[in-house]
Amino acid sequence: MPATAPRGVGHLRGDEPFPAAARRALADAQLRRNLGHATTTIRAKSGAVIGELPDWEQLRAAGSAIKADVLARLPELLEQLEAAVTAAGGTVHWAADAVAANRIVTDLVAATGSDRVIKVKSMATQEIGLNEALAAAGITAVETDLAELIVQLGEDRPSHILVPAIHRNRAEIREIFLRAMPGVDPALTDEPAALAAAARRYLRQTFLTTPVAVSGANFAVAETGTLAVVESEGNGRMCLTLPETLITVMGIEKVVPTWRDLEVFLQLLPRASTGERMNPYTSMWTGVTPGDGPQAFHLVLLDNGRSAVLADEVGRQALHCIRCSACLNVCPVYQRTGGHAYGSVYPGPIGAVLSPQLTGVEDNASLPYASSLCGACYDACPVKINIPELLVHLRAEHVAAQRRPTAESVAMAAAAYAMDHPALYAAAQRAARLTRLAGRRGRGLPPPLSGWTIGRDLPEPPARSFRDWWARR
């Protein structure tokens, strides 16, 4: 079995189980207001532009089929990608896990002599804890995506895949800038345009003076060795074009076979994520072009538990994810708790199925239960990942791994035995009716079964069972 992501490095595991973290988040009324406003706005925008496409369902099916094809022949496609990148003047590095990837990137930056890198927003580098690894080597990483910058200056953690500072409102952002942004005007207001201008002034100088950039990648085209980054601000493009050295860290599942395949995802992603018809800044590059852009390009292909996910026939569909965040915006659990409660850099429904698989389910055992199984995430997903099915699959895996009887497993075993013995089953039904006589409707079950009725009413047994009715006829 391939290795899962190692412990002690990166950000795939939280400090506490989801229920404890969620309880604290639920008590934060400001957080819930910020989340409610932001997710409702994005959802409405996305729904409107998706409604314009008569072939949205066919596009979803195509996206899903391409991803299934990629996973079925991943080794072959990655080798094709490596050959194409190398032929175009780039260098490909294979990183088995977060430790290896951090070491490769740190060594590459150190070899340039720079003590600072600029970064394009990237989930993969957050996953492996690259900023911390660089800091340990005396290298400062400057986030250039506006929301990531807010998170970094606030010494905070991202709470959404697409909008990492979704939990902050503009008054809080102004306060962070005044406190932590070098050279900021003390008269700064909380007008969005003023906040963006302050960030632009700070970042522009950094872009022009930093010789190394680190990025992630949304896609890589195997046939030509082309990398693609999609973003909304243009800051990413500054990082991808101005420095002398560009280092890209990419999860191995991000490869697509051809440009025709890429076209499908460039239609799906902006509509499902930011609710735009077309992505504002789509940057693509192939190796190195003399005299134009970075003159050294390194691609780090990251596994970090992905091969273990791939080995699970049911679970592997989590690797179809294109990180659009649509499942977060529709999830009733995420909308109330926000992303920090999930512990991992991957929050929401996709985090609840991806993180436990990357780490091994026992290291994130509470996450598959962080869902009502309402199915909204499945309906919203542009690549048709059946997240509810994965949640149930992982819950079963967790229960099997426990090896000790739980209250639920004991109750289920007793129910199975009773159903297998008609006389016992009839007696159990009569006993259940006693609870009706005792007027227990709406109350909870006694321990150890009380957990089942904390959030549910105990159904009232019918006055007459089907068996009684049948016997009398």
Out of 325, 337, 344, 364, which residue is the one contacting ligand SF4 (CB under 6 A)?
Answer: 325
Which residues are bridge partners to 286 per DSSP?
226
- For position 309 contacting ligand SF4 by CB under 6 A, the verdict is no
Provide the 10 A C-beta neighbour count for residue 148: 20
Using rule CB under 6 A, residue 386 touches ligand SF4: no
Given the rule CB under 6 A, which of 2-10, 142-150, 381-389, 465-473 is the region that contacts ligand SF4?
381-389
Q: How far, in Å, CA of 459 to CA of 433, rounded?
A: 11
Q: Is 367 in the site for ligand SF4 (CB under 6 A)?
A: no
- Cβ-based neighbours of 461, under 8 Å, separated by 6 or more: 429, 432, 433, 435, 436
Stretch that binds ligand SF4, among 89-97, 119-127, 305-313, 322-330 (CB under 6 A): 322-330
Q: Does 31 bind ligand SF4 (CB under 6 A)?
A: no
Separation of alpha carbons 159 and 463, rounded Å: 49
- Out of 365, 383, 390, 394, name the contact with ligand SF4 by CB under 6 A: 383
- Does position 322 bind ligand SF4 by CB under 6 A? yes
Q: Which of 324, 341, 365, 391 binds ligand SF4 (CB under 6 A)?
A: 324
Task: Decide: is 380 part of the binding site for ligand SF4 (CB under 6 A).
Answer: yes
Give the range of 226-234, 248-256, 324-332, 334-342 binding ligand SF4 by CB under 6 A: 324-332
**Least distance from ligand SF4 to the Cβ atom of residue 43, Å:** 12
| Minimal distance, residue 381 CB to ligand SF4, in Å | 3
* Position 230 contacts ligand SF4 (CB under 6 A): no
Question: What torsion do the CA atoms of 49, 55, 57, 61 make, to the nearest 10 degrees?
Answer: -120
Binding test (CB under 6 A) with ligand SF4, winner from 214, 309, 341, 381: 381
Instruction: For Cα atoms 90, 237, 197, give the angle at the middle one, nearest 5 degrees.
Output: 155
Using CA atoms, how far residue 190 sits from 42, 55, 163, 195, 257, in Å, is 21, 41, 18, 6, 45
Edge-to-edge, what's the strand order for the sheet holding 212-215? 91-95, 296-302, 245-251, 212-215, 116-119, 140-143
Q: Is 165 in the site for ligand SF4 (CB under 6 A)?
A: no
Phi, psi of 292 (to 5 degrees): -140, 110
The least CB distance from residue 385 to ligand SF4, in Å, is 5
Cα–Cα dist 260/301, whole Å? 22
| 321 makes contact with ligand SF4 (CB under 6 A) | yes
Maximum Cα–Cα distance for the chain, whole Å? 92
Interface region with ligand SF4, contact rule CB under 6 A, candidates 6-14, 212-220, 297-305, 377-385: 377-385
Q: Does 382 bind ligand SF4 (CB under 6 A)?
A: yes
Between vectors from CA 179 to CA 176 and to CA 184, what angle results, nearest 5°?
A: 95
Contact 176, 150 (CB under 8 A): yes
Region 396-455 residues binding ligand SF4, contact defined as CB under 6 A: none
Footprint of ligand SF4 (CB under 6 A) = 321-327, 350, 380-383, 385
